[in-house]
Amino acid sequence: MIAFALAVFFMIVTPGPAVLALAGVGAAFSFKVGLKFLIGLTLGYLLVWAIVITGFVSIIFSIPYMRTIFLIISSAYLIYLSLKIMLKGSEIAFINPENSPTLLDGIILQLVNPKAYAFHSILLTGFIVFPNNFLLETSWKFIVMNLIWIPLHIGWLSLGVSIEKINLSPYTQRRINIFMGTSLMLVALLSFFSIRQI
């Protein structure tokens, strides 16, 4: 049980696409905008949970090239979100960065995020706790994951918002937005270039 909880903690606390996007939204926009985005991430995470637990993800990824398609969509979407964060307050308006990320953006990010499927597949199929009771094991894992997942994501959002609330000069805030957006962009590009190895 402790091994499972630690695995959940370290997988979530390690910056991935969702937490980087969440911190970036908090830093570039506000807690209110970030909270909507977080609710979307949570709903998307629950949908991914259902897709993995029902075995539907195995069917999806058994189709040739489906994993590559997911990675391409995921990388493109992360680049879009990173540009929204980097260009907040910019006069370059080809993606209209003033339109803040929404609840729907959070849902979509989780649904196209390959890390979310890998994360859930590892945790739901490994770390057997109640080998003779699937319902008890699934319920227990769901509770433990949410007790860790929700506070850690609120923490990432708060970290981003604390940067926004420090009352930094516009120049410094802009540099932070660029840094947060660039970090997310790097994750997107690394995902994209990993396609060659599939």
Task: Render pLDDT for 99-142 as a digit per residue (tens, 0 to 9).
Answer: 788 899 999 988 887 778 877 887 777 777 788 888 898 888 88
Query: Does 37 score more than 90 pLDDT?
Result: yes
* Sign of the alpha-carbon dihedral angle for 55, 148, 83, 79: negative
* Residue 164 pLDDT grade (very low, low, confident, very high; cuts 50, 70, 90): low
The more confidently predicted of residues 51 and 176 is 51
pLDDT at residue 36 in the model: 94
Q: What is the mean pLDDT of residues 81-92?
A: 68
- In this prediction, residue 13 has a pLDDT band, given cuts at 50, 70 and 90, of low
CA distances from 125 to 32, 46, 122, 141 (A): 35, 16, 6, 11
CA 91 – CA 109 distance, rounded (Å): 26
The pLDDT mean for the chain works out to 79
Work out the average pLDDT over 79-86. 79
Q: Is the pLDDT of residue 86 over 80?
A: no
Of all helices (H) and strands (E), which one includes residue 34? helix 31-53
- Using CB atoms within 10 Å of the CB of residue 132, give its burial: 0 to 12 exposed, 13 to 18 middle, 19+ buried: exposed
pLDDT value of position 89: 57
Percent of residues, the chain, with pLDDT higher than 90 = 12
Residue 87 has pLDDT above 70, yes or no: yes
**How much is the pLDDT for 20?**
81
pTM, two decimals, is: 0.75
55, containing H or E segment: none
Q: In whole angstroms, give the CA distance from residue 32 to residue 77.
A: 22
Two tokens, residue 112? 């196209």
Q: What's the mean pLDDT in 49-66?
A: 84
